[in-house]
Structure 1
Amino acid sequence: MLHVDGDPEFSEAVGRFLEREDDRFDVTTAPDVSEGLASLAERDVDCIVSDYDMPGRDGLEFLEAVRSDDPDLPFILYTGKGSEAVASDAISAGVTDYLQKERGTDQYAILANRIANAVEARRYQRLFTERTRRLETLIDNLPGMVYRCRNVPDWPMETVEGEVESLSGYTARELERNEVKWGESVVHPADQAETWETIQDSLSADGTFEVTYRIVTADRTTKWVWERGRGIDEADGDPETLEGFITDVTEQKRRERELRRAREEYGALINGMNDTAWVLDIDGTILAVNDAAVETMGYSREELRSMRPHDFDIGLDEAELSELIETMPTDGIQVFETVHETKDGERIPVEISSSLIPYHGDTVVLSIARDISDRKEREEQLERFASIVSHDLRNPLNVAQGHLESAREERDSEHLEHVARAHERMAALVDDLLALSRAGARIGDVESVDLGATVDHCWQNVATANATVRTDIDRTVRADPTRLAQLLENLFRNAVEHGGDEVSITVGERPDGFYVADDGRGIAEQEREEVFRDGYSTAAEGTGFGLSIVEQVADAHGWSVTVSDSEHGGARFDVVGLESADD
């Protein structure tokens, strides 16, 4: 607080007493109005106590100067030379309190009490003003109206605020004057009795209620509204007044009706499928599931509709689900493998095939989950079998190769060369067998791959003799880099095996993929369907598995591979369906 008085000794004595009286007080003094105003400019104060008769300007002039900057700052005129005229002028100027100086120290206790009351009153007023502002802001931004009404069947309104007219078509004035009564003229006639009973039953239970009903607006439009409120002013246990909030839910009701219709229609669309099938909204909401999904997953239809795919897909989270839907091709099928967990905790490996389909003006996602447990088991069995076979073949093959080297040291014979080539063919067969069985139709993590750099790297890994490669490609694609390298290396080996040691190979770019072409002897048209079959080869040294691996890698990515004549009469392999990393 700031105490301004022309008697510095008196000011100090008052200050000491006030600070002893209440430890919240921190008193600053000033001898006149000029220094008082200067002190106010330097610090914030909660209250001013000022004498009236001072050198220069008097206390009323000080009050007027203060009020011009802060109309609400507590100002107590504490003077020994006051009069009724001074008191009247002070009140007119907006003084907070007026107190005459008296003899003795009791007056200081009164002053301290007046100061504390004035400061607390201002704080409460500020708090009330802020709460009122916040409430008004909240009401202004609510999508509906707040009200207070009498709890009788026609619900006459006492106060209404908010979006009253946009909600009901009536003005707040019409409702507050009861020119229009909510329960009689606004609530739909068919809903009046049921709404009244529902609210009264809820009030009897816990004093609050929530209810949805129809209203008829001033222009005779029917709307659905949701209301929440509570009873107040109870007499004999029955609330006499209600306070609450009402908002328009017509659009929500329309959406619910459409969702029910869509679920019925989507259900009819997919129920005949043997595989588990789902229809999703583009935000990932499950709209419908078929009977197979209910039977397989162990959840009821209602439970599945309330879930999201990542709730039972242990290989998927919400962010990944959103990304899958956002990147889904508009004219193709998105295929990936994952694992579904049933209600009983059983985990089922599945292959998901999803596509965007138009249906009644909407775009939805149709997902079909095929159980691939048997396929996974066969792949594991094949891998175990291939590992055993390759192990049992490699050991005797290594022994034979060792004896062959010893035989070459002892004698030189053309028969030994035939033996060496046979060993090399056996080793190649074992390698290709392992590649087929271990890779299978699976791919690893897909990432952005520089296709040109991958071509150069793969060329270094292939025994190419005097063959050459020209790379005319500059793009980044989405692929499993290991499997893509496997595809390219097998295409290079195929070109060298069938085109000769000096064959020229070109890797070029297509809008949707790439091609590998050579100037060798080519592949006859009648053989082109056969070249991708396991074990088929026209080269004496070939294993017949290289192109089968190429097709398998392409299929695993969702690509396709075809063979035709190259520009120079050799073979050309086109790999299409690739996704550019920049797409």
Structure 2
Amino acid sequence: MNESPVGITISDPSRDDNPIVYANEQFEHITGYAEAEVRGRNCRFLQGEQTAREPVAEMRTAIDAGEPVTVELRNYRSDGTEFWNRVSIAPVRGDDGEITNWVGFQQDVTVKKERERRLRRKERRYQSIFNDPNILVGLIDTDGTVIDINQTAMEYVAATRAEIIGTPFPITPWFDHSAEIQRDVREWIERAAGGEYVEFEADLVGPSGDPYTVAGVIRPVTNDDGEVVSLLISDRDITERKERERKLQRYEAYLEGSTDIITVLDDDGTITYQSPAVERILGYKTDELIGQNGFDFIHPDDEAAVFEEFTDLIAEPKNTVTVECRFRTADEGWRWIEIRGTNYLDDDAVRGIVANSRDITDRREREQALTQLQQRTETLMQTTTVEETAQVAVDTAQDLLGAELSGCHLLGDDPDRLEPIAFLDAAREGSNEPPTYDRQADTDPPSKLVWDTFERGEHLVIEDTREYDGLAEVTPTRSAVIHPLGEHGVFIVSSTTTDAFDESEKTVIEILATALTAALDRVEREQELRRQIERLDKFASIISHDLRNPLNVATGHLELARQECASEHLDGVSNAHDRMEALIDDILALAREGKQESESEPVDLAAVSTGCWQTVATADATLVVETERTFQANPSRLQQLLENLFRNAIEHGGADVTVTVGEVADGFYVADDGPGVPEDEHDRVFDLGYSTAEGGTGFGLNIVREIADTFGWDIRVTSSAAGGARFEITGVGGSDA
């Protein structure tokens, strides 16, 4: 390669700024400047914007020191183009040793600098590849001998680089666990040495026995003549990637085989995968929904709740949420589905939200039916007549089960006939009235079947009336469930189709029949109770009118007798009148006990006690209140309870008795310091008519127990600290103020 021409300049340091006094033709060839243009100028005019400061400073230092120097720097030609200039300057000295001139030599080395730059770039590229911490790199000879190996590769073997270099690559520790792998490596080397670009993948075993997988290439390295001179091996550890691939394969197999709908969505809800189960459950082709947003198929009433759950889901990796919603089907219907979504956005094998969805339409319908059944049974518990109760039951059978031929048949005045009490219009069976079932009608198959079921007391399921002789010919019913209602009658739920009721619907019928039986029992009890109350009202009226009027007459005559004569026997008559008055008051209280309202409100025990004390004839008795308890009760009935306890204390303890109202756990007590109640009589004090006080009616404590029972409270008698009687009432709830 020919050297580039050398431009020569001579400068005169004895003149200001050391100007050029000579330039040869080669200088003009290199720089584009003629001698006439540069004579008298300092050579710095060749410098420009990209000229580095360091070589310029180095030349100045040499000039100041009077020493020669060679530098390479970027200069500019007369047309403004750049070139690399190798500049050598040297002093010329006279006989006296003084510098007379400076000689400069310029040489264009641009081509050489570019070649060096490309070489350095290749070197950096090679080093970056060879020393890449993520790549296993080795350089081997064409015969397979290891020339060099990087540190990343050495981390996979229990050996040193010195032990590896110079060793045939196939027998190095990477492959000594398998003769088959060694054969493969030899084959790969032979192919690469022949100029082939060889790709490979190998399952290897590390020093600790842990398996790993690498994948890479063997590249032939050629000289300028195309001859293969070495082989460059580079590979990566793909163990994690292979495991992800295996995991993904297993996951895909699970998705394809799942009976539930498996959906994968991205973070905005777009469907990226759909399992085949979507066709069976929702009617869509497997790939029909891919690319569409899943929220577009959710019922508008459910979309907000589902979106909220989805937003929470994507906010946290591995998070899981479950939501129920209605999803549009391919035929524009709706199915209830339960979606269990898990966030796998950070999982390289999935990168999405995995939704496992199952059809819960039947379950939701059952739940809805049970909710309606609960509401209807609550309604049954609020009915007031037998007819209303029965009609609620048959209407429920129609609404929940579509049982269009249902009816309720109960015993009436005739013990041999089950009369239709409630029925649906369709149950008329083509006549003006629904059927009556007669015990004596042996020739009527429906009557015989119904009466047999009622008397046996066990429900009967008829899947197909054709299974019963003569039944199909006389009734439009094709399937039915007959439930006895205790001693009331039967509840018949029927349909015009065979096998109309599945197991869950039969359970609904059983629950409904049980609730109907309980409701009929309740209605009968309440009707009997109303009759008793009416009798009590009459009884109270007799006491209030028929007894009190003669008593008032007797009392008036007693006063007249006192005016005509003075007799100690008249006091006995007066006492008898007072006892009769007290008996009438107590009997009226008992008679009206079942009629009093039981609505409760918060009451202050201390305030009520003090108020009651003012209404009782207390003489010289004393009330002590040691409580701040409040609880729920009917104020008037609580007042009646306390007044009777106070009267009882005064009657048995005397005019100067001290009565104390205090607290016990979950309740309160009323105690006195009177003579008390003998222990063997504690169980009898609340019995009707029991009294130990002279003139006592024996009704007061019985009334107290009746009121306590109405509230659901417990009451017992014991001895007070002073030896008197102590009545404890518990179960009142409430709290201490």
- Category of TM-score, reference length = shorter chain: 0.3 to 0.5
Larger helix fraction of residues: 1
Structure-2-length-normalised TM-score: 0.36
> Whose relative contact order is higher, 1 or 2, with alpha carbons under 8 Å and at least 6 apart?
1
